[in-house]
Chain A
Amino acid sequence: MLVAESETIPIQVESDIVLVRRHCREWTMRIGFGLVEQTKLITAASELARNALLHGGGGECLMERIEANGRNGLRLTFIDRGAGITDIDQALTDGWSTGSGMGFGLGGAKRLVNEFHIESQPQQGTRVIIAQWK
């Protein structure tokens, strides 16, 4: 697999969530995803960007156009350096939340994309990688 192009978007303030959505949308349109695929990916990106900001204390999103076996895809990596998630399985269950009552949105985001991978350690931040193939 090769990375054809990439871009990093900071997630430090709330307006960055909109920025992530917009850039994600541009990339998906350029790659030529169908409307439903586009919307799913952008929505997943929005969820994860918000997580990184509100639960992770801020971070960044790496957007990469990837190619493998003649197929094009988009990979997004969300990194934050926050408190980390102690129980990932629980976090992936819908409706689970801490304090804010908003829930992590991770389970939902996972259902929207082709590939979903999460790494998190307490006190070491969280890294979520999602990918959608055309």
Chain B
Amino acid sequence: MGLAEEVAERVRQHEERILKGWLDALRDSASFRQELTGEEELRESCEAILAQLVDALHAMEANATMEEAWRPLREQLVVLTQAWVELGFSPAELAGFITLLRQPLVEALDGGTTEHLLDMISLINRLLDRLSLWAAEIFQRSQSDIIRRQQEELMELSTPVIKVWNGIVALPLIGTLDSSRTQVVMESLLTRIVAEQARVAILDITGVPTVDTLVAQHLLKAVTAARLMGAECIICGIRPNIAQTMVHLGIGLDEVTTRATLADAIAVALDSMGLRMVGKEVDS
């Protein structure tokens, strides 16, 4: 029986003992905040890791490629790490979680010759070191993912689409309009056009500091996409200095209806839908 197989057997035989040792160590450790996750959940997580570890050892023995043998365990670790990042565990705690498995594992390897024992301990050390490295990597990646997701959410929140009237939506754009922001804007705008069945979309660029050729291109993309869906866009909020810059730069928004103010744009929108605002008659 190969080395990996033998370690797997020992682990499987003494699984309960190892699990207890691991959980005890975690509980006793000053730097692992067990209260962040429930006792049951922690036990389940440990069981899952141990089970995958045994499988990975068997797979190694069966001559699967390293990637194949370790993938399930790695995936288990990814799931666990991502969950624990959300719960607020620190990278040190995660590293500790793995390191504290070492002692109980080694203690379960009793019997056999010293040399043999050393080989098995060496294997276990290599495995746990790799697990620690992965955990650190996954942790960092998860944090980056969370940050990225929050940034996306922030971008979406900062592009609210407002229903002005039946069939009319308005999108106040605030801040610079770069390529990635345009993607978010287009998606929000078009989704809302479908949801509200809005035939007219008003893009208010009062809050866009500069309109150069690139920004104009981005605006045009959004307008074209909306038009493809059967919605017309009106661009408003073009300030006098922006209008001057655009003409000097030779930027044309010729195919788009534009107005200076939101009020004017709304009037145009209503008109295009055959609607008109009428003052109330006052009874004298």
Check if B187 is an interface residue, CB within 8 A of chain A. yes
B145 / chain A contacts, CB cutoff of 8 Å: 70
Q: Which of B67, B71, B141, B187 contacts A70 (CB 8 A)?
A: B141
Check if A71 is an interface residue, CB within 8 A of chain B. yes
How far apart are the CA atoms of A90 and B268 in the complex, in Å? 43
Q: Which of A2, A4, A36 contacts B187 (CB 8 A)?
A: A36
A100 / chain B contacts, CB cutoff of 8 Å: none
Interface residues on chain B, number (Cβ under 8 Å): 10
Residues facing B in A8-45 (CB within 8 A) are 36
A69 / chain B contacts, CB cutoff of 8 Å: 137, 141
How far apart are the CA atoms of A49 and B100 in the complex, in Å? 52
Residues facing A in B64-82 (CB within 8 A) are 67, 71, 78
B67 / chain A contacts, CB cutoff of 8 Å: 2
Check if B138 is an interface residue, CB within 8 A of chain A. yes
Nearest-CB distance from B237 to chain A (Å)? 27
Check if B142 is an interface residue, CB within 8 A of chain A. yes
How far apart are the CA atoms of A44 and B238 in the complex, in Å? 36
* Size category, A interface: under 10
Closest to A34 in B: B187
Main secondary structure of the interface of B (DSSP, over half): helix
Residues facing A in B116-143 (CB within 8 A) are 137-138, 141-142
How far apart are the CA atoms of A85 and B150 in the complex, in Å? 43
B142 / chain A contacts, CB cutoff of 8 Å: 70
How far apart are the CA atoms of A3 and B36 in the complex, in Å? 35
- Residues 145-187 of B, flagged 1 when their CB comes within 8 A of A and 0 if not, give 1000000000000000000000000000000000000010001
B71 / chain A contacts, CB cutoff of 8 Å: 4
How far apart are the CA atoms of A99 and B93 in the complex, in Å? 65
Nearest-CB distance from A40 to chain B (Å)? 10
Nearest-CB distance from A3 to chain B (Å)? 9
Q: Which of A2, A4, A70 contacts B138 (CB 8 A)?
A: A70
B78 / chain A contacts, CB cutoff of 8 Å: 70
A2 / chain B contacts, CB cutoff of 8 Å: 67
A70 / chain B contacts, CB cutoff of 8 Å: 78, 137-138, 141-142, 145
How far apart are the CA atoms of A70 and B133 in the complex, in Å? 13
B183 / chain A contacts, CB cutoff of 8 Å: 36
How far apart are the CA atoms of A121 and B138 in the complex, in Å? 40
Nearest-CB distance from A66 to chain B (Å)? 12
How far apart are the CA atoms of A69 and B137 in the complex, in Å? 7
Nearest-CB distance from A65 to chain B (Å)? 12
Nearest-CB distance from A5 to chain B (Å)? 11
How far apart are the CA atoms of A36 and B225 in the complex, in Å? 13
Nearest-CB distance from A85 to chain B (Å)? 27
Closest to B139 in A: A70
B141 / chain A contacts, CB cutoff of 8 Å: 69-71
Residues facing B in A27-82 (CB within 8 A) are 36, 69-71
How far apart are the CA atoms of A36 and B184 in the complex, in Å? 11
How far apart are the CA atoms of A89 and B202 in the complex, in Å? 38
List, sorted by A's number, 13 A–B pairs whose CB atoms are closer than 8 Å.
A2-B67, A4-B71, A36-B183, A36-B187, A69-B137, A69-B141, A70-B78, A70-B137, A70-B138, A70-B141, A70-B142, A70-B145, A71-B141
Nearest 9 CB-CB pairings of A with B:
A70-B141, A70-B138, A69-B141, A2-B67, A36-B187, A70-B78, A70-B137, A69-B137, A71-B141
Besides A36-B183, A36-B187, 9 other A-B contacts (C-beta < 8 A): A2-B67, A4-B71, A69-B137, A69-B141, A70-B78, A70-B141, A70-B142, A70-B145, A71-B141
